[in-house]
Chains A and B, each alone.
Chain A
Amino acid sequence: MPVAYTTFPAYSRAVPEPSVQPAALEGKIVAEALIASEADIKSGLADNLLRLWRYGLVLSHRRDVADDLVQQTCVRALERVEQFETGTRLDRWLFSILHSIWLNEIRSQRVRLGQGFVDADEALVVDGARDAETHLMANQVLRLVNALPDAQRAAVFLAYVEGLSYKEVASVLDIPIGTVMSRLAAARAKIAASVSGEGVT
């Protein structure tokens, strides 16, 4: 989404600020304030590793691929520290990096190599006491989400599990908001039909 900047850089400097610092350093200080440091990104990554891994699992249905996705996301994020806009949410930025790695690199590679994907039903169930009712519930919800086509599944996960707004989902998936809406609507229609009777087994 384009952002309109109201202050025109050429004019904003027209009024000389009372400077207590040597003029030559001014530009550098501004730059440091705007650009996140590598340490910031690192600590942000550390806080979000588990959520990134879970998103990787939701996209790929494979634990080893989720591991790889997180690793590559870390590398990419640290390489592109200067592209992160301070003041925006770091977790959203990391999700979009992971998503683009998945879409543009790993997924296409796997398809090319002819490596199949495991059955979605098996990959995303919660381990542990399988007969416990809680897990039964959780697994039924997971199955319904897993049964969705890839594009709808990612949108549902980001909007309803991670709680992103439509605008944020659009930005992570790099698609228009209208597309987010139609994916979520189609997913809701499908899930509603399943829970309303026919689909529940």
Chain B
Amino acid sequence: MNDKNQILSDEELTAYIDGELSDTEVSRIEALLDSNARAAARLELLSRSSLPFKQAFEPLLAEAPKARLDTLLGTPADAKPAPERFGRRGFLGSLAACLFAGIVADRAFISIRNRVDAPDESSEWRAVVAEYLALYTVDTLAGPSPSGEAQAAQLARLVDKLGISLSPEAVSLPGIEFKRAQLLQYDEKPLAQIAYLDPETGPLALCIVRSDVGKQDPDVEGRRGMNVVYWSNETHAFMLIGRIPIDRMQELAEDVRKRTA
């Protein structure tokens, strides 16, 4: 859908996102983006396609039949006879490779950089979280919600790594189901993600990282079609992200902020 009347074509915007333009062209496009809301909205939409492609395709390398391919060049792997096509050893090997690739991909996913959003460190983690959460669907969080006890146990695991103690009550959201609390990693630092499912708008999450930015009052932003409310205290930065309308998001965030202060 490349509208001829558009002030900037999808091609230009794509090349801008991909860093393929000269400085002159970049200045021209940025000037147009500043003055034209429609072009800016189109850029925002197109940039939602900046997914972690590299990481997603990484595990496929581990699925390549390495030993067999090596024999093509007359350099058998490990100087051992070429393994038969579906040998038991090959099978176990590829299984191990898959598990390993899973770990690598998991780490890589959360450490990807978003090339479009502002590059300053305090906002970048939010871009990464948004990128990650954009892939969540209702199915991602399917299944029964954990009991209060199980919630407390999941939250307790965050204490060690993140230095923050949270009770199920402190992070509960009225009318919205707690689904799980888990520890992810961003830029080599632990990141707590508490995921919820809103019956009307789908997944939302409260995410927390250590931060030395200092106390900051709640602010709002839009990322990948979701609403974000973010704030920080002396030790941690928080963000609540989901598709609930922004007014309601702010109320929910304010509630959580008071209880976790």
Contacts and interface: CB of A to CB of B under 8 A. Distances in A.
Interface of A: 42, 45-46, 49-51, 53-54, 57-58, 63, 66-67, 70-71, 74, 124, 126-129, 132-142, 144-145, 156-157, 159-161, 163, 165-166, 178, 181-182, 184-193, 195-197, 200-201
A24 B10 CA distance: 58
B64 A54 contact: yes
A188 B46 contact: yes
15 contacts: A49-B64, A50-B69, A63-B63, A70-B69, A74-B72, A136-B135, A138-B59, A141-B52, A178-B11, A181-B11, A184-B18, A188-B46, A189-B2, A189-B10, A195-B48
Contact of B98 (A63, A128, A178): A128
A201 B135 CA distance: 10
A128 B9 CA distance: 41
B30 to A, nearest CB: 18
Interface string B195-225: 0000000000000000000000000000011
Contacts of A200: 135, 137
Contacts of A142: 56-57
A156 B70 contact: no
Interface residues of B, number: 53
Contacts, number: 164
Contact of A138 (B46, B105, B137): B105
A166 B12 CA distance: 13
A137 B9 contact: no
B90 interface: no
Interface in B55-106: 55-61, 63-66, 68-70, 72-73, 75, 94-95, 98-99, 101-102, 105-106
Contacts of B137: 200-201
Interface in B125-172: 132, 134-135, 137, 140
A49, A134, A142, A160: which has the most chain B beta carbons within 10 Å? A134
Interface in B1-17: 1-2, 9-11, 13-15, 17
Nearest to A194: B49
Contact of A134 (B45, B54, B65, B106): B106
A1 to B, nearest CB: 15
Contacts of B109: 134, 137
* A-B pairs with lowest CB-CB distance, top 6: A128-B98, A141-B56, A191-B49, A185-B10, A53-B64, A185-B14
A190 B1 CA distance: 9
B135 A163 contact: no
Contacts of A50: 61, 64, 66, 69
A130 to B, nearest CB: 10
Contacts of A157: 53, 57
B15, B63, B75, B94: which has the most chain A beta carbons within 10 Å? B63
B20 interface: yes
Nearest to A138: B56
Contacts of B183: none
A192 B48 contact: yes
B244 interface: no
